[in-house]
Structure 1
Amino acid sequence: MIDLNRQAELREAIELFYFAYRAFTAPPDDILAQRGLGRVHHRILYFVGRNPGIAVNALLTTLGVSKQALHAPLRQLVDDGLVGTAAADNDRRVKRLQLTAEGAALEAQLSGTQMEMLEKVFAEAGPEAAAGWRRAMAALVTGR
């Protein structure tokens, strides 16, 4: 059982995490909304941009979503000319994804708002705090 003082600290951390995430996603959400897109579209653009030629199945694994959850937003990005598709050379059944020039520009704009935010807060917090934050986030990802 977690003692009451520690519970209060952990609840504060939960609240800070929630409000920080809301602030972190607000600028890209506003840009996306102007195009009729949402946060899932940003995640797709981000990971396709970071992994040009990624197969759809690999993207599903990276995002941790089902084919059904990915289908409609990916189709919209393809239809809007933001993501291109090509069959893999070694297996025509495998669909490879890449950002178009317009998709790359949008992804850079979206992630740019977040990189600027992180740059500012990391500079203000200092390198030790930034390193501690990265360790904490990595631990959350791995569950350790």
Structure 2
Amino acid sequence: MTEILLPPGDEFLREETIRGGMDLLFFSNTRHLRHADDTLAELGLGRAHHRIMYFVARQPGINVTALLAILGITKQSFGRVAKQLIAKGLMEQHTGERDRRQRLLKLTPEGAKLEKAIFDDLHDNVVRAYRAAGSEAVTGLWIVLQHLMGEEARVQFRTVQRL
């Protein structure tokens, strides 16, 4: 196993340490999602499709407005990606029973199966990393990431965590 590099203790605000942290975010994100990207690409899908499927799986029946707020995307961007998911039989859209203006989303059984397979692979990678780092490091990671996302996203994060 390659040596784990640690930041220089008291010098964590130096430019090179900040750049190193940004490098870590880039490399960990791209490598963590590589298998998911490959699986999605085989179906002609990408990360935007996965993000929608992930949050619809977290909250079946979520309305489009709530999902747009979580993802921080426009209705136009969502519409293009959702249309593809529906056409491929991975997601369904229904009109709300109480409010007919609402569009409610849920994954089809095939969509749920795909999302679960991708999640299981990502889950195993996160478990491996969490175990290697330990509880204190995981707590620190959660704190750093919440400060990186800004207040608006923290509100969405807290909403998702209540699901």
- What TM bracket, shorter-length normalisation? over 0.9
Matched, 1:94 2:94: no
Q: Which residue of 2 aligns with 1:130?
A: 138
Match of 1:43 among 33, 47, 51: 51
Matched, 1:119 2:117: no
Q: 2:41 corresponds to which letter in structure 1?
A: A
Distance 1:74 1:45 in 2: 9
Distance 1:115 1:137 in 2: 18
Structure 1 residue 142: deviation in Å? 2.8
Q: 1:56 corresponds to which letter in structure 2?
A: V
Distance 1:18 1:124 in 2: 20
Structure 1 residue 138: deviation in Å? 1.6
The RMSD of aligned alpha carbons is 1.6
Q: Which residue of 2 aligns with 1:83?
A: 91
Deviations for 1:21-68, whole angstroms, at most 9, x for unmatched residues? 111111100000000000000000000010111111111111111111
Number of aligned positions between the proteins: 141
Q: 1:85 corresponds to which letter in structure 2?
A: Q
Structure with the bigger RCO (C-alpha within 8 Å, sep 6+) is: 1
Partner of 1:86, secondary structure, is strand
Structure 1: which 4+ aligned runs deviate by more than 3 Å? none
Distance 1:68 1:107 in 2: 23
Distance 1:17 1:49 in 2: 25
Distance 1:80 1:106 in 2: 12
Distance 1:127 1:31 in 2: 31
Q: Which moved more, 1:110-119 or 1:37-46?
A: 110-119
Matched, 1:142 2:142: no
Structure 1 residue 111: deviation in Å? 1.6
Q: Which residue of 2 aligns with 1:72?
A: 80
In the superposition, the TM-score normalised over structure 1's length comes to 0.92
Q: Which residue of 2 aligns with 1:53?
A: 61
Identity of aligned residues (%): 38
Structure 1 residue 139: deviation in Å? 1.6
Structure 1 residue 77: deviation in Å? 0.5
In the superposition, the TM-score normalised over structure 2's length comes to 0.82
Q: 2:26 corresponds to which letter in structure 1?
A: Y
